Amino acid sequence: MTDIAKQLSIALDSVLDPVSGQGLFTSGRAPAPRFADGIVTVIIDVTDINADKRALVEADVNLALKAIEGVQDVRVAMTSTRTTRRIIAVGSGKGGVGKSTLSANLAVSLARRGMRVGLIDADIYGPSQPRLLGAEGRKPTATDEKKLVPVQTEYGIGMLSMGQLVKPGQAIAWRGPMAGNALGQLIDADWGETETLIVDLPPGTGDVQLTMIQKYKPAGAVIVSTPQDLALIDARRAINLLTEADVPIIGLVENMAGYQCPECGAISDPFGTGGAEAAAQELGYDFLGRIPLELGIRTASDEGIPPAASGGPGADAFNAVAGKLTDWIAR
């Protein structure tokens, strides 16, 4: 190593990595600088460093290297080579089983546990997350690179949905490839320090699901079903699609499981009971829990107040499922 190269490496190592606290060179954050014709070139991996700290690192590197005799200019290239964000898909294969309500409450519950969570409403044709999270009428902004910036909700999570990008009530009449491209814009948005993205999938096993699997393979999937046989048939189709693509099934959730009469207290099962749990056992997957059929869940959701945040009806059930999801992520 030449004298100038040694000086440059020492100077680079005097700038601390914000994550590990070690020098940029020692931590492996940056290789030895390149020097030619008075110009120093430095490549720094900034994947898990936020924008403010990136700017500080760049300024400190410039200051340290320009102090060396013979250095006329410093060029800093920031790269992102390590992907740390995980995607958790919530699907069913069938509409009307409560995927969106579960997705919203899982995201809120995870955020309340200290996780940095984002929520994507991937139901391009029938978005509902803006209503569920009380964010109707709020539009995402965009970066200079034309990446969407998620709307920050009052529940501690960022959220993106096609419902934020079109007029209320407007029909989205797109062919499959356009829906797949829309999903890409939502996932490739500027999610900042978000660690986990909860993706609320549309019904079925169509273009959005295929785009998700092929381009943005989830770390795992939560499958939602009502107890009735018809819903479980469609849920099995969704499971088959995901497992064929080697997407781990985190477990099954049984929604609309049991209704308690508010007047007499009697419990009935209009959609049956235990079907999702039995299917999970049969297929060898974890059963994550039951969400009751409660009027309070519906009214709170219509008002944009997720029960997991308010402690309202169903909060314990949503939080119990989120707890099992947290355990899975930790493992």
Show binding-site residues: 93-100
Beta strands across the sheet bearing 249-255 = 151-152, 158-161, 117-121, 196-200, 86-91, 220-225, 249-255, 287-291
Q: Which amino acid is at 43?
A: I
In 3D, which of 62, 80, 72 has the Cα closest to residue 15? 62
- 157 CB-contact burial (10 Å; exposed 0-12 / middle 13-18 / buried 19+): buried
Secondary structure (3-state) at 245: coil
Instruction: Return binding residues for ATP.
Output: 93-100
321-325 LR contacts (CB < 8 Å, sep 24+)? 321/102, 321/106, 321/109, 321/222, 321/253, 321/288, 321/289, 321/291, 322/105, 322/106, 322/109, 322/110, 322/113, 323/109, 324/251, 324/286, 324/288, 324/289, 325/88, 325/106, 325/110, 325/222, 325/250, 325/288
